A and B are shown apart, each in its own frame.
Chain A
Amino acid sequence: MSLQQSIQQAAQKEYSPTAPAIAPKNVQMYKYDQFDDEFITQRIEQLRSQINRRLAGELSEDEFKPLRLQNGVYLQLHAYMLRLAIPYGQLNSTQMRALAYIARKYDKGFGHFTTRQNIQYNWPALSDIPEILEDLQKVEMHAIQTSGNCIRNTTSDPFAGAAADELTDPRPWCEIIRQWSTLHPEFAFLPRKFKIAVNAAEQDRAAILYHDVALQIIENDQGEMGFKVYVGGGQGRTPVIAKLVREFLEPQYLLSYLDAILRTYNMLGRRDNLYKARIKITVNETGVEEFSRLVELEWNRIKDTGFNLPEEQKQTIFKHFELPEFETYQYDAAKFESKKTENNGFDYFVKNNTFAHKQDGYTIVSISLKPHGGIPGDISADQMDLVAQLADDYSLSEIRATHRQNLVLPHVKLDDLFILWQKLTKVNLAAGNIGLLTDIIACPGLDYCALANARSIPIAQMIAEHFDDMKKLNDLGDITLNISGCINACAHHHVANIGILGVDKKGEESYQVTLGGSSRSDADIGKIVGPGFSGDEIVGAIETITNVYLAGRTNSDETFLEYYRRAGQNPFKEALYNVA
């Protein structure tokens, strides 16, 4: 039986948006009301008329481009690309089946999960896009503001609402931000794109400090919840860690405070130079004290008269995210342990791909989209259907997308974990490499992207093929490796422990290596280790880098990043370039 057939057999049901939707049961997520539905209808009608005006010559490409981008439509090397919004990375099984349906009907049978917890399709025709959006509307999804110089999809912890280490569930706040930012009339033509991220856990799994605005939910000394606000983080050609502008923002003022930040940026942000237009440059050039003074000044003007979400509406949104009803049961620990002993693969899977759940007897399961030899973030329509089925069977119909281009089943009973792993194994989705060297973030690169200078995907594949020994990977432990195909840094190479940047060197693809980046709470920007490597040399260079670490670490408890911070670049330079 081929892989294809196996997946098809495994997927018991197939979803079609033209047939009545299989309503997922009790998924704790925001559900559209009539208002939201009518809003989407009007927005699709607007895009349809814009496309018609473009085809009739009433809109020039210059005018049309920002309009299509604000609906997620890019023009890439081979075709248009459509990026759909997955608000803060949350999906239900029905939505996943709709994504599979779209992949088959309008695309070439697959999709690509991005570092912004979104999904993109590589082959739609411009003329099909309104129809795709209508299909999406049936499952309460859209593509609004997934590109363009506006407020983008708010990202967050993919384990939100499930993680044992979270202070509170950040998703309702993300939803409030999503609604506030959707077609905000004042902020649709900003100097440049604007990204907001929210985290409420101890661990930062959303790289929030590399966002234009980072909101860390904290508790003050009085036990009240609020936001610690950072501004001006970003990657691209100038990576910057966001700077603290407010220690504690009372939650009822969230929207007026964001209005004040955006208004200040809209007026001050540079419009003379595309590469200096992000808020990180505005904050650097203005100075963080002065920028924050201006924000506070504006906020003090509007905090009581401007728009803050009324308490009643806030409660309505929060109700959508009430915890699901978990089962209380005694899980069979002995059986679980014996399965781990019997199956090496399961043991690695448990060790690397699961995370502590807030409910006893449950766990959070990551599905790696970096299978051996696969394309980071890519998933076939059949696999999407299967993940949907597994979510229905084992995760209360819920799925998450992560900023590391993986998927998550957030509510899995420990008793079900082994059978879930077995089912994933059959369709090549059981790679137990989450957080390991081969859990690579890679952008589409020159294989698809009109901006890229070099390919990313083949490099990711070669590295994954070279490091295919699970024992060695586990010995190397916690390492992030990210590969971007150009300086725009879509794959976050600056913030990886090992970053690879593809550049064009006199017409040839060349790969520059940075070391020491981190996207977690100990955020750091990687530094270039030396001259770049050709495609032929890059795998060897990564092998050398890992060997330097293995030889130099105090013991296996010292992670790659810890070793690098202690030893610096010199040992790596010596080994890579033969210099003393």
Chain B
Amino acid sequence: MKASEGIETSGRKPSRPPVVAPGHSPGSVTDQITAVVLDRAPRWWWVAFGISFALVMLLLRALTKLLFEGTGIWGLNIPVGWGFAIINFVWWIGIGHAGTLISAILLLARQEWRTSINRFAEAMTLFAVACAGIFPLIHVGRPWLAYWLLPYPNTMDLWPQFRSPLVWDVFAVSTYATVSLLFWYVGLIPDMATLRDRAEGKFAKVAYGFLSMGWRGSATHWHNYETAYLLLAGLATPLVVSVHTVVSFDFAVGQLPGWHATIFPPYFVAGAIFAGFAMVITLAIPLRAAFGLKDFITTRHLQNMGKILLATGLIVAYGYLVEIFMAWYSGNWYEQFMILNRIQGPYQKQWMALLLCNVLAPQLLWFRRVRSSPVLLFMVAMFVNVGMWLERFVIVVTSLHRDFLPSSWGMYSGTFWDWATFIGTIGLFLALLFLFIRFLPMISIFEMKTIVPKQVPNTAEEAPE
């Protein structure tokens, strides 16, 4: 391994902050990351977990009410038959995309900086997909019959309609959830072996030992492991693109103005990555400060994520522009009405807020100072989180509320239970995330070790005697 690799100190290029702060060795990386899990929980953790857990209770309350009384407790009505459930589903599944993108696509692109953030981005993916999965299930009306969507031999002799995007969605989302879980678990095995070897308590030793399945870190283990990991990355890359494409088909295959557009698949995928990176930034900035992990999640990571946010934000802005252009260019009366109604109609405020959040706010990221400032970057990311939710609101609601016939026009707004369910899933997401950072290493220990020798030559561990 060349000592100079990865160190950028040459005078010609402007020096970039390192991926790992100098002075770390495999041992010190292990100690610092496992300490988060093996030390006692800080008091703020209990407070934060407590609040999220209270929100999980709110979710359960809202779901119980729904099971007893049905979807009438929501604001849905004809013509707006798709409301919060679909908005939240698309929002959450979009957030879930950053994890796999960081783990798989950036791995294949040999972006070493991904190593510090891939583990918790993957966890974030899983929890976001878990939150997303709730909505289609409860939205079918009789959630206890949701398994009818799966093809299985049954006494009714019925099968799903495979030409329907809603059935594609079942396959896409369940495959995505399964593969994300496998990818995440496989990534955790060597780190759980590390925790097994370092845990003090009997229960922790047995639990981590059980989960690490007897991992020994032999050369044979590592070789098969690396092969599997790379293949999984290669499989997850087209998968991540396919999932939001299929989600966009839910809209694009319909004939409704505002949904029926060929730009939808790429525009949805870019939007998903945009939303996902915004959420990764939202989580990474407080976590690195709270757990003192600034050595591993450095300014370099923030800058790079800021750049990705800007790039995907521009693609999303292009998507908005093409929608407007195509409405004009199509010469279609209903398409043109839909766009004008979006801009000037009763949901004008949401549309303007969407442009502010998703198009204007990310433009700040052109400035290096904004990308390097955790506070400003966090604020931009929060704008995007809100903006992407509004985008789905605008797509779902403004397209539906003005039906083809003025006699069937209507308005839509979420009820208390719509909001309770949505906020409840945010609580579920955060509660799962807090449990994760408490019990599993939130930064991949073994992958950090592979980049440490390159970043920091001649440490005590690596130096020959």
A binds B: no
Chain B residues within CB distance 8 Å of chain A:
none
Chain A residues within CB distance 8 Å of chain B:
none
